[in-house]
Amino acid sequence: MEEKIVNKKGINDYKEQNESIEKNNETEIFKSKNRCINKNTIYNAYKENNLKCNAGITIIALAVTILIIIILAGITINAVLGDNGLLRQAQDVKDMAEGTTLETGEKMNKVLQEYMNVMAEDEGGEITEPEKDTTPPTVVITTGKITSNSIEISVVANDQESGLASENAYVYYLNGAEYTRGNSSNCTFTGLTADTMYTIKVEVINGVGIKGENSTTINTTSLTVENLRGEKFETTTPIMDESGDTVWIPGGFEIAEDSAIDADDGVVIQDSKGNQFVWIPVKDETKFQRYGGYYNGTISALSYFVEPYNGYSDETSEYNVMVSSIKKYNGFYIGRFEAGTTNSNRNEESGISDIVIIKKNVYVYNFIKWRNDINDEIGGATELSKKFASVNGYTTVSSCLTYSILWDAVMNFIDPAYSTNNCNSTSFVRDSSGKGWYSQNVPTKTGYYSVNNIYDLAGNVGEWTMEVYSSNGYYPVLRGGSYTDTGNKRPASTRNYTNHYITSQEYGFRISLYIK
């Protein structure tokens, strides 16, 4: 009897302990209410409590099993198997414990659910699981530089929920076909056709794989000088100037930013190093010939002036190739500036080792002879000019020392009356007073005075040409006067001649290009 009383007392103690646990759990639940900051936190606590309850049931069952083993070890078989035996009592304890624990868990869940409902009412909504991101990214396309064969765009994409994908977030399409993909928000579409409409679409993928997109249509520019300034040409291309005339742009060159948009005003091209040339149109082949030029206001006779001079083996054939090119393309290019150098200390001994540059505001390449010998092409302005194209990697044009026929084409370009020998007395080609660097003690840097975007055709230094004077021997010809003369005596079209080996501060040269 005493043993049964003890066991019943243990059961009562166990009930009291569970009731205490209930109260403590309820207290902890309401404490947790103060720590909750949003619906999702409560929802997670609700799920976590269920897991803890299940774990509690398992622990209590284990404890009951251990208790049964201890009791069985201390009593007789009969006491265990009787109607009121310990085994029966232990089962009662187990059932009570399970019921108490399940009841406690239910009460905890009830309290949590009530609090969740209160929170939902306060916030005017229902407690639900966190919503998944179903919103696509926003995509905005901005157009950049547009040329005749390329389109640049930039993209601004935003996804505040999931962010953008870490790989290949941007996919670019051109006329419905995928062009490229990656993580860059910028794309340049190349190899396009001039004056053509293109549809460009951009897809942007967010961090959970949802796509946003936007599209735009863009028209490439037409092949005109105005639209193509700053654009490099891969192949030799005919384009139109403002008047509708054709200008040929050699492959590897680009139209300079400060170029005129009409050939009559001087269309300028430049290479990758910034060397610049001006297009000289030759529209009428009958006028593509040499003219006497003015000296002291009067036209000079062409007697004894020879071009081409068959001084070296290929000179005549080179001349013929040059003329054929100009007639085919209706024009050629002449250096925008006299040949220049970065060397400020050139003298009679300088030779031809300095690199030739054709840019504004550099030292003029003077103290340069025509050639080592009248019958070769080596050692002076002729050699430097011929090699200029290969030295600079040109593949679409040939270079040469400017021929007199080219010089006269420039004069006719500036003043069409030049071909009639009837220029006005104030014409640049007849009287260059005040239009060039004259009556000075030393030459100036390149880029002093321009006509039709070509600088220093008058004054500064006399410029060697491929022409020779043969009355009393063979003397190469210089054009354009020099800083020691005056503009009315030796204007832009004038001729002068001297020995081929002279290296003077007054003499320089100018390079021309013709298309292959």
**Beta strands in 37-83, from DSSP E residues, in sequence order:** none
Element at 170 (helix H, strand E): strand 170-174
Please state the φ and ψ torsions of residue 142, each to the nearest 5 degrees: -115, 130
Asked whether the beta carbons of 381 and 477 are under 8 A apart, the reply is no
Q: pLDDT tens digit string along 325-375?
A: 999 999 999 999 999 999 999 999 999 999 999 999 999 999 999 999 999
Residue 57, pLDDT score: 44
Q: Do 456 and 290 contact (CB within 8 A), yes or no? A: no
pLDDT at residue number 149: 86
Structure letter (DSSP) for residue 420: G
Is residue 379 predicted with pLDDT exceeding 80? yes
Q: How high is the pLDDT of residue 133?
A: 84
Residue 119 scores a pLDDT above 60: no
> Is there a shared CATH topology between the 138-219 domain and the 290-515 domain?
no
| pLDDT for 32 | 42
Q: What is the pLDDT of residue 81?
A: 52
In the chain, % helix, strand, coil (3-state, to 5) comes to 30, 25, 45
CATH architecture of 138-219: Sandwich (2.60)
Average pLDDT, the chain: 84
- Position 494 confidence tier, pLDDT thresholds 50, 70, 90: very high
Whether the per-residue pLDDT at 268 is higher than 90: the answer is yes
In terms of CATH architecture, what is 290-515? Alpha-Beta Complex (3.90)
Is the separation of the CB atoms in 104 and 18 below 8 Å? yes
Q: What value, to the nearest 5°, has the Cα angle with vertex 420 and ends 416 and 421?
A: 105
Domain locations along the chain: 2-123, 138-219, 223-270, 290-515
**What is residue 80's predicted lDDT score, i.e. its pLDDT?**
46
The DSSP symbol for 372 reads S
Phi-psi region of 259 (alpha: psi -120 to 50; beta: other; left: phi over 0): beta
Round to whole Å and give the CA distance between 120 and 280: 83
Q: Which residue has the higher pLDDT, 36 or 355?
A: 355
Q: Kindly indicate the confidence band of residue 31, based on its pLDDT and cuts at 50, 70 and 90.
A: very low
61: which DSSP letter? H
pLDDT band at 492 (very low <50, low <70, confident <90, very high): very high
Cα–Cα distance between 131 and 134 in angstroms, integer? 9
Q: What is the pLDDT of residues 56-104, one digit of tens each?
A: 445 555 555 665 665 555 554 455 455 555 445 545 544 544 444 445 4
